[in-house]
Amino acid sequence: MPYEEDPSQGKDRPVLLIGRDRRHLLGLALTSRDRNNARSADARYVDIGTGPWDPKRRPSEVRVDRILRIEPAAIRRNGAVLPRAAFDAVVGSIPRT
């Protein structure tokens, strides 16, 4: 989907789709920026490793503290399937309100 900060920049915001809310898709932002490493840890991000969702095969992390409501028409390209164990780890890390 387009970046919220500046949709005109032409880059896509990678997201992990986790469900639906009526007509909207629910997703979590992905990043290749390493937030959990030997120097620091950020509980808002869960490591999911590498996969076909990133053409450069960079390790990815999912931000779990902010669920995005996405118009289905905003999805600009196809994705890939996250292995079930990684998906379950991400969903299990979403803060409960």
Q: Where are the domains of the chain?
A: 7-76
Over the stretch 10-59, which tens digit does the pLDDT of each residue have? 667 789 999 999 999 999 999 998 888 888 899 999 999 999 988 899 99
CA distance 64 to 71: 19
CA distance 84 to 42: 23
- Residues 6+ away with beta carbon under 8 Å from 76: 1, 2, 12
- Nearest-CA neighbor of 30 among 11, 7, 10, 54? 54
Over the stretch 56-85, which tens digit does the pLDDT of each residue have? 999 999 999 999 999 999 887 778 899 999
- Residues 6+ away with beta carbon under 8 Å from 53: 14, 30, 60, 79, 80, 82
Whole-model pTM: value is 0.83
Q: What is the pLDDT of residue 37?
A: 86
Q: What is the pLDDT of residue 7?
A: 55
pLDDT band at 9 (very low <50, low <70, confident <90, very high): low
